[in-house]
Structure 1
Amino acid sequence: MRLEADTRVTLSKTKAVKALPKRARIQSSVRTGTIPWGVEQIGAPEIWSKSVGKNIRVGVIDTGIDYKHPDLKNSISHGINLLNRRVLPYDDNGHGTHIAGTIAATGRYSGIVGVAPRAIIHPVKAFDQHGSAYVSDIIAGIDWCVQNDLDIINMSFGMKTYNPTLEQAVMNAYYNGKVIVASSGNDGRKKSVDYPARFPQVVSVGALTRLGRIAPFSNRGKQIDIYAPGERVYSAWLGGKYHELSGTSMATAHVSGVIALMLALKKMSPQQIKSALRRCSLSLAKREGGRWRPGHLNARRAIREARQE
């Protein structure tokens, strides 16, 4: 039985872009697979000789995952279906599969490669086929990630209203050493971001265009920690296919992937991760009136900052 105060939460995504053939809209090709433009732009391939995110465990609280996708089948570990605990967290929407692909796809010859191709995805299905969830299921998903000792919690969704129980779950995860990454939202607001990205314990992510500018749809402001690629991002889709989506959800997945690269090299606390990412972005951002502004995600700079922690 659900409580009356148990509000609905929606995924942070903009209008989907029709997918082109598998080989379209990629910037480069390597022997182990193709590299989508966002993975290329943040410089992840430059880091793979040092870190591929090996054995870092990422909980993706979303719509589930396509277990049969050839680029993901080697990246998936156990998860949970909070909508029906008797079945696996199969994706019936596509969003969760897309997020997982950006984080940890391991396409070998004809597929795609994610930011951290040796990270491990734990799918946590809290959202239904329409991309909607109850906040109580999201809280249960966060608690499940903590109980299963995952390293990173990716939350590519947002809500406008404050929820104290959600904040308590986030704080519990934070104090248990879990790095929480969430999308800022797609309303184009200039001074406000969605929850849970608004909580100070969370790494808050805005979206960039292919030209490296803040995407018009992305929420922004002082509560953003870092910006990452979020426009027409090419990633895995249902039925072993590929699709483009735009949104701060996609940007969040890039950041989770880079954090996996960082943690595979060095054990760090959530605050150390957040501080390193902010310092990394500072070196790329402009200043206005002496104020700090968040900048672009860059894997090489993030790894360097991590080693200085």
Structure 2
Amino acid sequence: MDTATFLQLLHEEIGLTKQSGKKHIIHFQSTKDYFACRAELRRMKSSLTHLSQVRDLSIIHGFSCTLRPDTRLKETIGAHVIEEDTKVSVHQVVGKKIGIRRGNSFVGPQMIPWGVEQIGAPEVWNKSVGRSVRIGVIDTGIDYNHQDLRNSIARGVNLLNRSMMPYDDNGHGTHIAGTIAAASSSTGILGVAPSALIHPVKAFDYNGSAYVSDIIAGIDWCVQNDLDVINMSFGMKTYSRSLEHAVMNAYYKGKVIVASSGNDGKRKTVDYPARFPQVVSVGATTRLGKIAPFSNRGKQIDIYAPGERIYSSWLHGKYNELSGTSMATAHVSGVIALMLSMKPNLGPLQIKGILRRCASSLSKRESTRWRPGQLNARRALGALKT
């Protein structure tokens, strides 16, 4: 089937899609087929109006759109694979708006949350503060007006509405951004890498929910804009070929991808995308340096980091205490920013190796086999000298 005929059929299928429609991702048999179809799509959009609903996912050489579950497109030769576009949720356990909690330390009027302190970030700020490292936070957006984030925010994108700024209407993204790079100049908090730049990529709605296609579009944006690190504090149980393809392509472009393992307390499995080998998979620890009861764990974890009752920035200039592997992931992204600021040419595999090798042990038992430990900023930066 030629591309024009395929797009004509796609236009008709989208037109027939009613309330029963579901989002799907379309893969092509070859790169050549994709580029031919993309060129034809741009030409035909003006005459076939339903085609304007098709989203181009260039990083996986595919499209996404809403189709009927029994779409006839699955019978065509032009499309290699049609995969249902599944839902993804942010990894968050609990939260409540609070004032400053005990257990956090201070540097003058500025507060250092306990997790930032525990991983040893303040000990290395004389060597690196993450200057000029660019981190894409694929999440719910960011509070642009928060006093602790104003100097840390760079250009972002709202994938749910391209005409709008990526303002946070949930709070999760703002909380993650604060742990990574809050840079209070007065009485607020300091993140792990206070001079790093956060590029907010709003892919999640106010409920903290997104589709895989939104995530892929976010990864694509991060790669197109040559960001250094991609923070993904979310996950899902089911495998997605499309998401794996996007992660692999970003990895081979040299992007360091960090993802949360999930909050189900499972002992032998983690969520996607953390389960992909190209990703730094993160579990959560408590203030006592133990694996958090809610954290997924096991051999698929690369590193653990603080994730219990983490104090960070929140909407409307406020602060919030949240728990989850999401919060742990933010600490890891911050340390990677510290590393890249010192040694910009580090690759994703090198960074993962250093983090794993330099982790603090979580077990008192002697063991000959490797076990994932807790994030240690001092050791990780010390390893860069050698």
Question: Within the alignment, does 1:10 sit opposite 2:89 as a pair?
Answer: yes
2:285 equivalent to 1:211 = no
State how 1:24-43 maps to structure 2 within 5 Å: 24-31=101-108, 33-43=110-120
Given the superposition, is the C-alpha separation of residues 9 and 288 from structure 1 closer, same or farther in structure 2, using an over 3 Å criterion? farther
So what's the TM-score if we normalise by structure 2?
0.77
Is residue 2:378 matched to residue 1:300?
Answer: yes
Residue 136 of structure 1: SS of its match in structure 2?
Answer: helix
Alpha carbons 2:183, 2:191 under 8 Å: kept: yes
Contact 1:26 1:35 in 2 (8 A): no
Asked if the contact 1:234–1:243 (Cα under 8 Å) also holds between the matched residues in 2, the reply is: yes
- Superposition deviation, residue 164 in structure 1: 0.7
Higher relative contact order (CA 8 A, sep 6+): 1
Q: Partners of 1:73 and 1:95 in 2: how far apart?
A: 17
* Candidates 155, 170, 174, aligned match of 1:97: 174
Deviations 1:46-79 (A, max 9, x none): 0000000000000000000000000001100100
* CA deviation map 1:18-38 (0-9, x unaligned): 2332x3235211136210000
Secondary structure at 1:141 match in 2? helix
Distance in 2 of aligned mates of 1:146 and 1:240: 30
Which segments of 5 or more consecutive residues in structure 1 lack a partner in the other structure? none
Alignment-derived partner of residue 170 in structure 1: 247
Once residues 285 and 224 of structure 1 are traced to their aligned partners in structure 2, the CA distance between those partners, rounded to angstroms, is 15
Which sections of structure 2, spanning at least 5 residues, go unmatched?
1-13, 15-22, 25-68, 70-83
2:320 to 226, 230, 243: 243
* Cα distance in 1, alignment partners of residues 364 and 381 from structure 2: 21
SS at 1:72's partner residue?
coil
User: Within the alignment, does 1:272 sit opposite 2:350 as a pair?
Assistant: yes
User: Which stretch shows the higher mean deviation, 139-148 or 29-38?
Assistant: 29-38
Matches within 5 A, 1:81-120: 81-120=158-197
The residue type paired with residue 200 of structure 2 is: P
Q: Distance in 1 between matches of 2:237 and 2:348?
A: 24
Tell me, yes or no, if the aligned pair for 2:192 and 2:334 is still in contact at 8 Å.
yes
Cα distance, 1:304 vs structure 2:
1.4
Q: Say whether 1:122 aligns with 2:199.
A: yes
Tell me how far apart the structure 1 counterparts of residues 140 and 195 of structure 2 sit (CA, whole Å): 22
Q: Which has the larger radius of gyration?
A: 2
Query: Closer, same or farther in 2 for the Cα pair 1:32/1:168, shift >3 Å?
Result: farther
SS in 1 for 2:352: helix
**Aligned residue pair count:** 306
CA distance in 2 between counterparts of 1:186 and 1:288 reads 28
- Give the superposed CA RMSD: 1.4
| 1:281 paired residue number | 359
The equivalent position to 2:98 in structure 1, one of 4, 20, 24, is 20
> Structure 1 residue 44 and structure 2 residue 121: aligned?
yes
Q: 1:221 aligns with which of 298, 308, 315?
A: 298
1:213-270: per-residue Cα shift (whole Å, max 9, x none)? Answer: 0000000000000000000000000000000000000000000000000000002000
- 2:231 match: 154
Identity, in percent, stands at: 72
Alpha-carbon distance between aligned partners in 2 of 1:174 and 1:228, rounded to the nearest angstrom:
22
1:281 is paired with a residue whose SS is: coil
Contact 2:104 2:114 in 1 (8 A): yes
- Aligned 8 A contact 2:90 2:234 in 1: yes
Q: Secondary structure at the match of 1:217?
A: coil
Counterpart Cα distance in 2 of 1:186 and 1:179: 22
